[in-house]
Amino acid sequence: MIERILKSKLIEMANKYPIVTLTGPRQSGKSTLLRNSFQDYEYVSLEDPDMRLFATDDPRGFLSTYPDKTIIDEVQRVPSLFSYIQTHTDKENKEGMYMLAGSHNFLLMESVNQSLAGRTAVLKLLPFSHYEMEKGEILPSSVNEEVFKGAYPRIYDKAINPDDYYPFYIQTYVERDVRLLRNIGDLSKFIKFLKLCAGRIGQLLNLSSLANECGISVTAATNWLSILEASYICYLLKPDYNNYAKRLVKTPKLYFYDTGLACSLLDIQNAEQITTHFLRGGLFENLVINEFVKESYNRGVEPGLSFWRDSTGNEVDLLRMVGGKQYAYEIKSGATYSPDFFKGISKWAKLSNTPTEQCFAIYNGDKDIKTSVGQVNGWNHFSLLHEIFLVFLNPPLIYHVFIPSYLIPETTFGDILFLYHA
C-alpha cells in the first residue's frame, strides 16, 4: 500500500479535535487512508442504504451504537446527523471521536459550517502526488504517461487501463454526484460543458465563450462550473493582484485536479498522442501546478498560489508564497532549455523587486541550470524539491539533507544542511 503524506497530519489533528473531516474527489483514497490510519476504529458507510436509513430515522440510536472511535464515510448523505454529532461530542469532550469523510465538498462543508464549526479539522485528500508515486515505486516511466494515466489510486492498485477507468468515472460522476448537487435537466449538455472545460486547461476563463459553445446561459455556465469545483473536478487559479503594473489581467485560469481525467475528456487514447496534442503545454503545466496544490493540502493548508499576467502578454505561470516570500515559476513542456523561459519572470521580478534566487523554471528536461536570471529545474527533480519544501515548512527535530546549490542558493554544492526545530 502506498503511504499517503497526509496521514501524519490526519493523526495529528485527531489528537487535537473531537472530529476530523476528510474531503476530496471520489476514489482519491479517503476511506483507505482513514481505515489504515485508525485501524482500531469502527467503519460505517452511509452509502449503504440500511446504514443511511438507520442514521436518518434514529440518529440518537445510531450514535449510541457508534459512540466513539468511528469512521463515518459519505457522511454528507445524512445532513441531519451533524447536529446530533455536535451535541454528542460536546457532551463527551474528547479528541478523536469521529473521522468524517465525504466526496461532495459543497454538501459536506455546508453541514460542517452549520453544525461543526470550531469542532472539526478539515483536511483534503487528492489523488496520488508525484512524490507519493515515486516513493511507492509506481511512478510512470515518462511525463506523457504520467499525464495520461493521472493519479487516481485504483488505476495503480488494480492495474486498470485509463481508457477503461475514466469513462466509467465520468459516467458515475455525472449520473450520481451531479444529480445530488443540482437538478440538471440535460446531462448531455453538462458532459459537453465538461469536455469544453478540458479543452481550456491553462487558459483564462471565458464563461461567455463556454456558454455560447455549449448552448446554455452564462448563469448556467457559472452554476455548472461551481459544481465542477465543489466535486473536485477542476479549480480556478486566481491572478495576482499586486499593483506592479497598472493594467493587469484579473481573470482566473482553469485547471483540472487530475490530468488523466482531462485526457479522457479530450479523447486522448494513449500517452504517445500527448506529444503532438495542441494542449500538451497546458497539460504539463496542469501536472506541475497540481503538485504544488497537493503539497499544500497534504500539509493541511490552502494553497497560496496565483499567476501573473499583464495586458501586454508578459506572464508568470505560478506564484507561490513560502515563508513570507513570493516565488515565481515558469513551466515549460519542452525538454530543451531556452533563455526565453525567464522572459515573463524577469519582467515581474523587476516590477516586484524580487531577487533571482526566488525565480525558477520547471521544464521537461533532465539538466539543472543556474542562470543569472533564475534557476532551471528538470521535472525529474520535483520530488527532491518537495522534500526540501517539507524541511523548510515543517521542520520536526533534525533533518540531514543533501542539497545541490541550484535548489538552495545559500548552500554550496554538496553541502549537508542541518535544520533544527526550535
Domains of the chain, CATH where assigned: 6-124 (3.40.50.300), 130-308 (1.10.10.10), 314-420 (no CATH)
How far is it, in rounded angstroms, from Cα 287 to Cα 408? 23
Per the prediction, the chain carries an average pLDDT of 87
- Give the residue among 386, 390, 255 at the shortest CA–CA distance from 318: 255
The model carries a pTM of: 0.90
Question: Length of the chain in residues, anyone?
Answer: 422
Q: Which residues of the chain have pLDDT under 50?
A: 391-392, 394-422
The pLDDT assigned to 329 comes to: 95
Binning the chain into helix, strand and coil, the percentages to the nearest 5 are 45, 20, 35
DSSP 142: S
Model pLDDT, residue 385: 56
Q: Quick one: cell of 165?
A: 477507468
pLDDT of residue 67: 97
The rounded distance, in Å, linking the Cα atoms of 324 and 178 is 39
- Tell me, what amino acid is at 208? S
pLDDT for the residue numbered 258: 98
Distances (CA, A) of 86 to 80, 83, 362: 11, 5, 46
Whole-number Å distance between alpha carbons of 213 and 215: 6
CB-facing half-sphere around the CA of 32: CA atoms within 13 A:
17
So what's the pLDDT on residue 418?
32
So what's the pLDDT on residue 384?
A: 58
Cβ 365 vs Cβ 334: under 8 Å: yes
Task: Look at residue 397 in the predicted model and tell me its pLDDT.
Answer: 38
Burial (CB < 10 A; 0-12, 13-18, 19+), residue 314, is middle
Give the model's pLDDT for residue 400.
Answer: 37
Helix (H) or strand (E) holding 389: helix 382-393
Phi/psi of residue 215, each to 5°? Answer: 75, 35
